[in-house]
A and B are shown apart, each in its own frame.
Chain A
Amino acid sequence: MRVPLTAVLRSEWTKLRTLRSTWWCTAVYVLVVGSFAWLAAATTRSAPTADSAVGVVLTGFAFGQVVLVVLGVLAVTSEFGGMALSSLVAVPRRTRLLAAKTAVVTAWAAVVTVLLVAGCVLAARTLVAVPGGVSPGDPEVLRAAGLQVAGAVLVTVLAAGLGAVLRSTAGALGLGIALVFVGPPALAIAGGRTAELLSQALPSLRVGEDSFLAVPTTWPVGLAVAGAWAAGAWAAGAVLLERRDV
C-alpha cells in the first residue's frame, strides 16, 4: 500500500500552519489589502460602472502581492535550513513532495484572497455610488474578482517554484519581487515600445486590463503570461529538486 497523496497534503498543512511566518504573512496580507480597499472605497464617491468601482477597491492587491511572494517562497525555502533531509527521507518522491507543498500553500493563499475579494466587493457596494448599484452577480464584477483570485494563485505557485530553483530565501524573494512588483511598473515608467512589451511579458498579479502598476493588456493575455511564468518556474523547480543532491 502506497502512501496516499492526502497523507502528504495533511503533512504539508501541518508544516505550514506550525510556522509563525505563515500567520505573520497572512495578517500583513489582510491588513495591506484590507486597508487599501477601505481607503479606496471611502475616497471614491462614485463610479460609472460596477466593475470600475470594484477595480478601484481591488487596488490594494497590487501591493499585497508582495506578501504572497513571501508566503510562497518561505513555504519551500524553509525546508532548506536542514529540514529537507528529514522531509525527503519521509517522502523520497520529490516532485510529489513539492506538488503537495505548493498545493497547500496555494490553497491557503486562494482561501484568504477569496475572503478579501468578497470584502472588497462589499466595500464597493456600500461605499461607492454606482448607477444601478454593485451586484455581486454582475458578470463583470465576477470576472474582476475571479481574475484577482487566479492572479493570487499563480503568483504563489511562481514563488514556490522560485524557492525550489534557488533554495535560498533571500535569492528567491529578491527575484520574485523583482518579477511581479518592481519590474512591471519600472518598465511601464521607462516607456518605449520594448519596455512596454517587456512589462506586459512579466507576471503581474493584477492580471490583464485591470493592471495597476504595469502596462495594461487584455485579461486573457495577462492570465496567460502569469500562468506561463508560474508553470515554467514550478517545472524548473521540480526538475532541479529531482536532480540535485540534498
Chain B
Amino acid sequence: MIEVEGLTKRYRTRVAVDDVSFTVRPGRVTGFLGPNGSGKTTTMRCVLGLTRPTAGTATVLGVPYRELDVPMRRVGALVDPRARHPGRSAYAHLLALAQSNGLPAARVDAVVDLVGLGAVAHERVGGFSLGMGQRLGIAAALLGDPDVLLLDEPVNGLDPEGIRWVRELLRDLADEGRTVLVSSHLMSEMEDTADHLVVLGRGRLLADVAMADLLGRGASVRVRSPQGPLLAAALRRAGAAVSLEVDGALRVEGLGAAAVGDVAFAAAVPVHELTTVVASLEAAYLALTGADVEYRAGAA
C-alpha cells in the first residue's frame, strides 16, 4: 500500500508535482501514466524519501519510507537504470545492496538468475546496454522479496522479449498480493498490464481510475438502419447524442446498446447492425492528457 496525500514539490522556477493525492492498493498492477515531465519520477522519488516534498506526505505501508526498519524487505524500487557504479560488476553491486539490509548472498544469485543476467554477472556494469541496466535494476528491486514495488519506466530500452517478460513478472507479483506501481509515458505499454491507472499531467492528478472504467468512459454505440433519419430522431428524443458516420451508420453516445435496441423497437425501425464501440486506450489517454502535455513539438 502506497499513500500519497496532497503531495507538492516546487522547484525554484516550476512546480513539478502539484497537490497530488492517490492510493496504490495491493493485489493489482497500478499504472502510473503521464507525458514526459508530468511529475511521475518526482512523485516516486518523494515516496522513496530521495526527494523532500515541499508539502504533503507520502507513506509506504503506513510509514514514511525513511522510517522502514528493513527497507528492502518491504519495498523494492527501480529508480534509474543508471543508479549503479560503472566500475563494479553486477554481482558486486547487488551483493553490496543485499548486505546493507542484512539479506543473504544467496538472494543475489537468485535474482541474477531470475532476470537473466547469469552469464554477465561478473562483468563490469559500465559495459551494459540500457536493457541490461534495466534488468539489473529490477534484480535490485527484487532482492528483498518485497511487499511493495515501485518501478520507474522499467521497460525503457528493453527488447520485445524483455517487455513481455516484465509484463508477466508484474502480473505474477500482483497476483501474489503485492502492491505494484509501474510508471510509463506510453499507454500502449500499460494496455495489457495494468488493472488500475493513475494519470498525471503537468504535475496534477488527471485520473485515478480502473482500466475498465477508462475504457467504458469513451464507449459509444454504432447502429445501422435503412431508416436512419427516423431512428436518429427517436434516439435524440430519448436523450442521446447522435452523429452520422461515413458509411451511413449512426454513432450514438449517452445510451447503451440495449437502450438503443429498445428505442428502435419502440419506433418500429428495423436494425441491421448494433455494436458497442470501445475506445482504444491510447485514444482515451490522449483525450485525457492532450491539454496537459508539457513538451509539445511546435507547429512547423
Contact = CB atoms under 8 A, between A and B. Distances in A.
B95 interface: yes
A246 B50 contact: yes
A86 B50 CA distance: 10
A8 B50 CA distance: 18
A81 B97 CA distance: 16
Interface stretch (B78-86, B207-215, B231-239, B240-248): B78-86
B86 A81 contact: yes
Interface stretch (B63-71, B162-170, B273-281): B63-71
A26 to B, nearest CB: 15
Contact of A14 (B50, B79, B99): B99
Nearest to B9: A245
Given A3-B69, A78-B85, A90 B100 contact: yes
Contact of A245 (B50, B69, B75): B50
A86 B83 contact: yes
B87 A7 contact: no
Interface residues of A, number: 33
A188 B66 CA distance: 48
A125 interface: no
A1 B140 CA distance: 21
Nearest to B150: A89
A8 to B, nearest CB: 5
B69 A2 contact: yes
B69 A19 contact: no
B92 interface: yes
Contacts of A91: 71, 100-101
What is the interface of chain A mostly: helix, strand, loop, or mixed? helix
B229 interface: no
A18 B88 contact: yes
B71 A89 contact: yes
B49 to A, nearest CB: 5
A245 B72 contact: no
B99 A92 contact: no
Contacts of B75: 89
Contacts of A79: 85
Interface string B16-58: 0000000000000000000000000000010011111000000
A92 B86 CA distance: 22
B194 interface: no
Q: Among B71, B83, B100, which residue has the most Cβ atoms of chain A within 10 A?
A: B100
A79 B82 CA distance: 12
A115 B120 CA distance: 37
Contacts of B270: none
A20 interface: yes
Contacts of A11: 96-100
Nearest to A243: B52
A21 B93 CA distance: 16
B146 to A, nearest CB: 11
Interface string B85-113: 11111001101111111100000000000
Contact of B83 (A83, A93, A245): A83
Contacts of A8: 100
Contacts of A78: 85, 87
B100 A7 contact: yes
A90 B82 contact: no
B77 to A, nearest CB: 5
A85 interface: yes
Contacts of B98: 11
Given A1-B69, A3-B69, A19-B87, A88 B96 contact: no
A245 B83 CA distance: 15
Contacts of B84: 82-83, 86
A2 B68 CA distance: 8
Nearest to B99: A11
A15 B83 contact: no
Nearest to A85: B83
Contacts of B77: 89
16 contacts: A2-B70, A3-B102, A7-B99, A7-B100, A8-B100, A11-B98, A11-B100, A79-B85, A81-B85, A82-B83, A82-B84, A82-B85, A85-B79, A86-B140, A89-B75, A245-B51
Interface of B: 45, 48-52, 65-66, 68-72, 75, 77, 79-80, 82-89, 92-93, 95-102, 140
| Closest A-B pairs by Cβ, 8 of them | A11-B100, A85-B83, A18-B92, A11-B99, A7-B102, A14-B96, A92-B66, A86-B83
